[in-house]
Structure 1
Amino acid sequence: MKAVKILFSIVFLAILTSNVRLISHWTESRGVYDDICYLRQAHLFQRFGWQGLDTSLAREDDGYLASKLRSINFENWKDGTKAPCHTQTADGSKWVMTPPPGTGFVLALFPEGFQAIPLYALANMIIAGFALYGLWRARHPGALALAASFGAVSIYFMINPAKASYSIAPTMVVCALAGLLTARLFDDEDRPRLLMLALVGALLGLSASFRIANVLLSAGYFLFFGVSFLVRRDQKTFMQGLSLGLGFLVGILPVLAANMVNSGHPLVSAYGGQDTQAPSLDLAVLRAYLGDTQFPVILLLCLWTALLWRFSSQFCVRRLALLVAGNLALNLAFFATHPVFTQYYTLPIVMLTLWTALFATIFSREMQGMQADGPQPSEMLSRVPI
């Protein structure tokens, strides 16, 4: 198995190298409207620090937005009110940006004019690190095969379709870490692990700072722990739900703060238009998702989750499978009924599910191996009465 791990480590690094080489030739003036807004948010953070949360056009006194719009040949580049992803507040007092602040914040960590390339290169390296960790952690042929195949897929997705939006790069990193911690939560339910559960909640909340739609990534978690409390009615499940909720609240604070600054209320977002329309079934949208390259991966994830629930001998893994299935179903149902199709919309839930299922498989196989081997000497010693 070591030879196989070395081989696929080389494959992962080869894909990573290819990705970074492609990224190094990217330009920040590629004509994508959302890019302008993320870069303007980064510019505001670099100029004003945390006060960059205020995205009012009244602060556009250095011509940054106009110059960016002009660089992509935007027709009304002189008129900020015509700029993409900017909208007028409900009271008509100012024009603000619609995206949340997280993507702009991570872009602001890099020098202006050279922000997208290092962000994607770093995110690719981190994802490759998770893939390598899963590969070398796998100790059984089945788990190794899954780690090898899906590890390669996860690195490839960091270019296509992740390149479609700057918000996807940091989202993918959060999904990988949240998936790892979620799997770890359920590998031994004898321990409450409230701090780890709060950290998972914080990561899910933080993901909404990159894309508002990422708030849906937490839907299955709240459904699972909410139903668990209604069924069991005990202190343990109450504390688990409370920890998750408090962590989520901490993670989503940047979004609430940005809403307060720009819209005047923490729960009022600047988003509008198609993003806030009521769900509806559109055959064209459904066909687009069915024909997308992610659809076979989604089918495999559904099958994988079902197999985890059906054949796992560990009750905690079966509970994890229920959480994953509920989260996947809720997210896919939302985007299938969304009024528009965009290739990267379902990528966050796909990757969160992938990492969770992968690490759950690896950890459960480890536990089965330990149980088959019998108690270790250290465990036997701990049972000796003193």
Structure 2
Amino acid sequence: MLASNVRLISHWNESRGVYDDICYLRQAHLFQRFGWHGLDTSLAREDDGYLAGKLRSIDFPNWNDPTGVPCHTQTADGSKRVMTPPPGTGFVLSLFPEGFQVVPLYALANVAIAGFALYALWLARQPGALALAATFGAISIYFMINPTKASYSMAPTMVVCALAGLLTARLYADESRRHLLMVAAVGIVLGLSASFRIANVLLAAGYFMYFGLFFLVRRSGANFLQGLSFGLAFLLGILPVLTANMVNSGNPLVSAYGGQDTAPPRLDLAVLRAYLADVQFPLIVIVCAWTTLLWHFAKQSGVKRLALLVAGNLALNLAFFATHPVFTQYYIIPIAMLSLWTLLFAVILTPGQTQLDHAPGSDGPRLSEMATADAK
């Protein structure tokens, strides 16, 4: 499947007529031309005809009209027009030579996802876990073409979701790994995800809710430090987005997005029906069922808490996208994949009570204690 994906990707054309593609490629062009000063996406810097040439290549009407350029908005003070997408996708595209950027980005992202799938297979020790790893690994590689091809921002997002899922599962499935550095690693990875898609900031919403509620229920210095560590690491990870906002809009907390992207939440039956008829709906059903089963059958308290974390994060993300005024085939894919990778690695890392018995700090009795009891 990986070889088939790479072969298919190798024939892709960067001028496929999608407006957002042009903007991501322009951000990459700015980074290659100006270095980190490429964060400034003002149209005033468009003095080499790059954007106009890209728009002409897709037959964009009025390609030479600055007021009609796609995914660019005017700042609040009216001083300039800047790009709306965050800088992360453009940055990773800038790592490859101009004109041959999308193919290597998607090929490497596919290899990375296949690597996570193979790692899950290598960790699996029981037939059931092995079957889960094989099935989900195949599905995740398939998703790297459809729906990931719909937006360049989705390729790095899928890799980040797999990494965050693995780190989250290790954090809660193995009590011995629950320390501040591991919590910080999850936070910084989720923070960096917002650099690819600004909506990815929601992937951390459930984590903030979990750490906050857990501290209120069990007030201790350790729980407070975990939440603080996650928050500071997330802030560090999202720093590129805040910097880009500051450069382009003059305020780190104000993005360049406008129109429907910043509309207040509302229920739209047409949007809800679109999600129900899309492949995203059965994915969410699978996540809900798997989370419920994991919480019900888990013998370790850490795994039960992990299930609650996944459930809360999923609920917050679904509440946002269900009230978003626009439907897109990949909007719910990031939270679905983050949840599924987390659940998969949680099952693999805790295949049975026997393995948990060996884990330092586990809630159940150790094998040695059980053997002593049997001898008595």
TM-score of the pair, normalised by structure 2: 0.94
- Alignment match, 2:120: 134
Tell me the equivalent position of 1:193. 179
Which residue type is aligned with residue 190 of structure 2? L
1:314 aligns with one of 279, 293, 300: 300
Counterpart AA for 1:368? T
Match of 2:27 in 1: 41
Q: Is the 8 A contact 2:357 2:367 kept in 1?
A: no
1:177 match: 163
Q: Which ranges of structure 2 fall in alignment gaps of 5 or more residues?
A: 360-364, 372-376
TM-superposed CA distance for 1:294, in Å, is 2.4
The amino acid across from 2:171 in the alignment is L
> Partner of 2:15: helix, strand, or coil?
coil
In the alignment, which residue of structure 1 is the partner of 2:233? Answer: 247
Is residue 75 from structure 1 mapped to residue 61 from structure 2 by the alignment? Answer: yes
AA of the residue aligned to 2:337: M
The percentage of counterpart residues that share the same residue type is: 76
Q: Pick the aligned partner of 2:254 from 257, 268, 287.
A: 268
Corresponding residue of 2:153: 167
CA distance in 2, matches of 1:293, 1:165: 17
Q: Residue 88 and residue 372 in structure 1: after superposition, are their counterparts in 2 closer, same or farther (change >3 A)?
A: closer
- Higher alpha-carbon deviation: 266-275 or 192-201: 192-201
Contact 1:139 / 1:366 at 8 angstroms: preserved in 2?
no
**Shift in Å at residue 144 of structure 1?**
1.3
2:13 aligns with 27
Letter in 2 for 1:203: V
SS in structure 2 of the partner of residue 96 of structure 1: strand
The worse-fitting range, judged by mean Cα deviation, of 113-122 and 138-147 is: 138-147
Whether the 8 Å contact between 2:32 and 2:94 is mirrored in structure 1 is yes
Q: Give 1:310 deviation, angstroms.
A: 0.6
Residues of 2 paired with 1:127 and 1:190: CA distance? Answer: 27
1:239-294 per-position Cα deviation (integer Å, ceiling 9, x unaligned): 00001001000000000000000000111110001111111111111111111112
Q: Distance in 1 between matches of 2:263 and 2:314?
A: 22
Q: Are the counterparts in 1 of residues 184 and 230 from structure 2 also a CA contact under 8 Å?
A: yes
Structure 1 contact 180–356 (Cα < 8 Å) conserved:
yes
Alignment root-mean-square deviation, CA: 1.7
CA spacing shift, 1:191–1:29, aligned 2, 3 Å: closer
Tell me, in whole angstroms, the C-alpha distance in 2 between the residues paired with 1:61 and 1:81: 16
Q: Which residue of 2 aligns with 1:9?
A: none
Distance (whole Å) between structure 2 residues aligned to residue 258 and residue 60 of structure 1: 18
CA displacement, residues 167-200 of structure 1 (integer Å, 9 cap, x when unaligned) = 0000011110000000000023355410111111
| Structure 2 counterpart of 1:232 | 218
- 2:122 maps to amino acid: W
